[in-house]
Amino acid sequence: MTLPIPILDDRSYEQLRDAMLRRVAVYTPEWRPDPSDPGITLLELFAFLGENLLFRFNQIPDQTQLWLLHLLHVPPYPARPSHGLVTFEPTRLNATTVPAVERGSVVTAGKIPFTVAEDVHVLPLVATAAVKAEATMPADPVLKAQAEAALDAAELTGDQTPVLFTSTVLEPDPTAPDFQPLDVAAAVDHCLWIAVRPVEDAPPSVVEALFAPAGALATAEISIGVLCDRQYPTVEQVTPCETVDGVRGARPPAASAAGAPKAIAGADSECAPSEVIAVVGPEPAPGAIARADSTLHWQVSSKVASEDGEPEYIDVAVVRDTTKGLTRDGVVGIRLPAIELERIGILEGDEPDKAGTRDRPPIVDDPYGVRFWLRAFPRQGVPEIGKLRWVGVNAAEVDQLATSPPRFLGEGTGTPHQQLSLGQPSVVPETVVVEVEENGDWVRWEVVETFAGSERHDRHVVVDAAAGTVRCGDSVRGRAFGIGDRIRSLSFRYGGGRAGNVPPGAISKADATGVTVRNPAAADGGEDAEPISAALDRIPGELARRDRAVTANDFRDLASTPGVGRAECLPRFDPKTKSFEAAGVVTVVVWPTDDPRHPDAPQPDAALLRAVCQQLDARRLVTTELYVIPPTYRKIAVSVGLAIKPGFSAVGVRRWAELVLRQYLAPLPPYGPDGHGWPIGRRVHPPELEAAVLQVDGVEFVEDIKVADISGAKPVRGTVELDRWEVPHLAELTVVAGPDVPEPGKGGVEPQATNPVPVPVPKDEC
């Protein structure tokens, strides 16, 4: 049955005005009002204000809606903080002290604060990352002679196969237009090499003190920051959610056993003769340190050579690794062995032809003197290092969060579900610490998600992250605050929003002394808090599914978390076999809210897919095999000819028609035929697009409309039938005035041949 919404007072402006006019004769009989009388003007003004007041009186205020959400345990999603990476540099070089940035320090981008996630020793060092990329034997006689000399110097045995390579150095600016990431997985030895050298203007005394046996490197950690190339996995690359962070399908290192094919190097014709080198991949030492907090072997170069004349490498301790083995953005903290500090350096006195051969590091430009090399390579059976955008030292992760000081919240009243404000919205629940003074002692109360599992004497509180409040139990489920008990919160973190998605270089101020700060890449991941209207729309679904993913709508709604622009559920669809009869399989297709790289065909990155996986994996049935996949696009081309009404601008009408078609075929809300994006699997039919174009003001009729599938080698014209897991990507759109409609899928006009024919000539330089 329909519940009527009561109207508390429905009087209009005219009714209020007439009612007041009727009372004039009762209260002031001597006044004979005239329409032009100033008193009538005042009366009409009050009638206008009264109508506005009654309108607000009949509305449910936001506070009432928030209490409704609170009563139903459906709080709005809080703001999500952005995340980024910063690097520090010392402002003054001192031979005895090294500045340090403590965890919890604040760096700012304008007025937006970011909190540093870990301690950083700001060393006067810089780093350059390089790999040994596979190459072919050069055709140039000089370069070929250099490569052959390197092969001879490598002194290969009969069971070793040479592999030619050239040194590839990671560019320092990941925002450059022609920037190319460093592909470590494609390296011939599967190693990431990092050359560590002092800063440009470091005095020799500072450098010697830094590398002395009792210097800063003996106790300080080297914080190596890594930005991985953004991964956009395809449908074929997605694994079930329970193995999203696993090691399924990982390749072992290339050189992991004696007698395996060795990597010997050369150079191609575009490289300098000094880069013609030969190498052999790394072999872990018999006593290599096996650390549970890193899936990689980390080693540092040594000044001394082994018995066979090859350079020795010393294992280093990995203090922390937030990069999952250099597969995600983060920081690797390493500590050099203090007892081996005198041995760390570069092997000297080696033959020039042996530079880079076997285990020797790649050759890079060395204007300031490389002091030592770090190298990292994966253990057996773990994922290899992928493509990297940036590598540097003195790095730290930052979150767009601020820290609140200890705060007195109030006194207990003994009432059930007493609620106290933390004073800040959008808090991080796991950072909230609540203490209650009981008999003179401060006792910490545990923060829980719900009182469902609480007993009557449990000291539990629930945090509303969006509103920034804490709430006690009712003495049945959780203990209530005692009468007169003082309540306080220790420091907690709060903040978030899209304002934190700042561009590279925006983070430029630090509260720590003696350092400067900069973010080499943009911070991302920030999302604003969910509006109340969106939270109210979630109420029926939340009450129906009770935080469980069973039906298709459950999976779709639960996947619509911050950062997700659209989600669709495909029951019994196996993305590997493309079968819709796979029992127990549920596939969820996810679109991001925005994608600057692919604005017309947005693709979620691996981080967003992992986040949705974690959200759904905790709520699915045990028997459900869950996949979270990116959308599959079918490229199409559309050509339209319009008849323009007289008096309308042909250019303006064409632009409006293009905009309407792009919005009509867009995959994200609020566009598409029904405002929810183009339906997945729905065909692209020319008459349907014609009906959309006819809605444009100024279009008299459509002369012709042509649609083509351009995803294959040749365009296929006509209605584009999509598979049940596909959506269209409008790759080409042509709108003309008149009946001469070009064929879709041409891809533009090809240039005509000229006489003479231009032929490029390679430059006489490297």
Determine, yes or no, domain membership for 201: yes
177 or 635, greater pLDDT: 635
Residues 655 and 704 in one domain: yes
- How high is the pLDDT of residue 450? 85
Residue 152 banded pLDDT, cuts 50, 70, 90:
low
Residues 155 and 266 in one domain: yes
**Can you tell me the mean pLDDT for 190-206?**
84
At 625, is the secondary structure helix, strand, or coil?
A: strand
Residues 288 and 350 in one domain: yes
Last residue of a domain, one of 17, 34, 59: 59
Q: Is 398 left (phi over 0), alpha (psi -120 to 50) or beta?
A: beta
Convert the pLDDT of each residue in 252-297 to its tens digit.
Answer: 333 333 333 333 343 433 333 333 333 333 444 333 333 434 678 8
- How high is the pLDDT of residue 269? 33
Lowest-confidence region among 63-72, 336-345, 712-721: 63-72
Say if residues 229 and 387 touch (Cβ distance below 8 Å): yes
What b-and-e string marks burial along 609-642, b requiring 16 or more CB atoms within 10 Å of the CB? bbbbbebbbebbeeebebbbbbbbbbbbbbbbbb
User: Is residue 386 scored above 60 in pLDDT?
Assistant: yes
pTM assigned to the model = 0.71
Residue 238 banded pLDDT, cuts 50, 70, 90:
confident
Residues 323 and 182 in one domain: yes
Residues 566 and 664 in one domain: no
State the amino acid at position 292 in one-letter form.
Answer: A
User: Is residue 656 scored above 90 in pLDDT?
Assistant: yes
Determine, yes or no, domain membership for 71: yes
User: Is residue 447 scored above 60 in pLDDT?
Assistant: yes
User: Is residue 392 scored above 90 in pLDDT?
Assistant: yes
694 or 134, greater pLDDT: 694
- How high is the pLDDT of residue 673? 93
Say if residues 288 and 315 touch (Cβ distance below 8 Å): yes
709 or 155, greater pLDDT: 709
**Can you tell me the mean pLDDT for 59-85?**
78
Determine, yes or no, domain membership for 103: no
User: Is residue 427 scored above 80 in pLDDT?
Assistant: yes
Give me the CATH number covering residue 460.
2.40.30
- How high is the pLDDT of residue 466? 84
- How high is the pLDDT of residue 134? 77
Convert the pLDDT of each residue in 638-648 to its tens digit.
Answer: 999 999 999 99
**Can you tell me the mean pLDDT for 60-64?**
68
Could you tell me the CA-to-CA distances from 9 to 17, 52, 64, 649 in Å, in that order? 15, 11, 19, 50
**Can you tell me the mean pLDDT for 394-398?**
94
User: Is residue 716 scored above 80 in pLDDT?
Assistant: yes
Determine, yes or no, domain membership for 396: no
User: Is residue 251 scored above 70 in pLDDT?
Assistant: no
609 or 382, greater pLDDT: 609
The set of residues, in sequence order, having a beta carbon less than 8 Å from that of 265 and lying 6+ positions away, is 132, 135, 147, 150, 162, 163, 164, 165, 166, 188, 276, 277, 278, 279, 356, 357
> What is the total count of domains within the chain?
6
The set of residues, in sequence order, having a beta carbon less than 8 Å from that of 237 and lying 6+ positions away, is none
Lowest-confidence region among 96-100, 168-172, 468-472, 496-500: 96-100
- How high is the pLDDT of residue 755? 39
Phi, psi dihedral angles at 491 (to 5 degrees): -60, 140
Dist CA 532 CA 529 (whole Å): 9
Residues 152 and 266 in one domain: yes
- How high is the pLDDT of residue 199? 86
Dist CA 638 CA 644 (whole Å): 19
- How high is the pLDDT of residue 748? 40
Q: Is 532 left (phi over 0), alpha (psi -120 to 50) or beta?
A: alpha
- Mean pLDDT score of the chain, rounded to an integer? 81
Residues 282 and 363 in one domain: yes
Determine, yes or no, domain membership for 522: no
At 445, is the secondary structure helix, strand, or coil?
A: strand
User: Is residue 138 scored above 50 in pLDDT?
Assistant: yes
- How high is the pLDDT of residue 411? 93
Residues 356 and 266 in one domain: yes
Residues 562 and 535 in one domain: no
Dist CA 249 CA 257 (whole Å): 20
- How high is the pLDDT of residue 160? 65
Supply the DSSP string of 261-329, one letter for each residue: PP------TTS-GGG----------TT----TT-SEEEEEEEEEE-TTSPEEEEE-EEEEESSTTTTSS
**Can you tell me the mean pLDDT for 21-34?**
85
**Can you tell me the mean pLDDT for 82-109?**
87
541 is in which domain, residue-wise?
61-76+531-546
- How high is the pLDDT of residue 357? 67
Residue 381 banded pLDDT, cuts 50, 70, 90:
low
Residues 33 and 173 in one domain: no
Residue 7 banded pLDDT, cuts 50, 70, 90:
low
Residue 6 banded pLDDT, cuts 50, 70, 90:
low
Residues 206 and 348 in one domain: yes
- How high is the pLDDT of residue 154? 59
Q: What percentage of the chain carries pLDDT values higher than 90?
A: 35
Tokens coding 687: 């008459």
Dist CA 229 CA 257 (whole Å): 30
- How high is the pLDDT of residue 179? 84
User: Is residue 183 scored above 70 in pLDDT?
Assistant: yes
Residues 282 and 362 in one domain: yes
Say if residues 509 and 86 touch (Cβ distance below 8 Å): no
User: Is residue 49 scored above 60 in pLDDT?
Assistant: yes
- How high is the pLDDT of residue 332? 93
Determine, yes or no, domain membership for 501: no
Q: What share of the chain is helix, strand, coil (3-state, %, to 5)?
A: 20, 30, 50
Lowest-confidence region among 366-380, 547-561, 572-586, 676-690: 366-380
666 or 357, greater pLDDT: 666
559 or 247, greater pLDDT: 559
User: Is residue 131 scored above 60 in pLDDT?
Assistant: yes
At 390, is the secondary structure helix, strand, or coil?
A: strand
Lowest-confidence region among 156-165, 199-208, 217-226, 718-727: 156-165
Determine, yes or no, domain membership for 600: yes
Dist CA 268 CA 137 (whole Å): 6
Dist CA 389 CA 620 (whole Å): 36
Counting every residue written for the chain, the total comes to: 766
Determine, yes or no, domain membership for 758: no
601 or 562, greater pLDDT: 601
User: Is residue 674 scored above 50 in pLDDT?
Assistant: yes
Q: Residue 344: name the closest of 300, 374, 403, 381 by CA.
A: 300
The set of residues, in sequence order, having a beta carbon less than 8 Å from that of 672 and lying 6+ positions away, is 663, 664, 665, 666, 678, 679
**Can you tell me the mean pLDDT for 362-387?**
77
Supply the DSSP string of 62-92, one letter for each residue: HHHHHHHHHHTT-PPPPPB--EEEEEEEESS
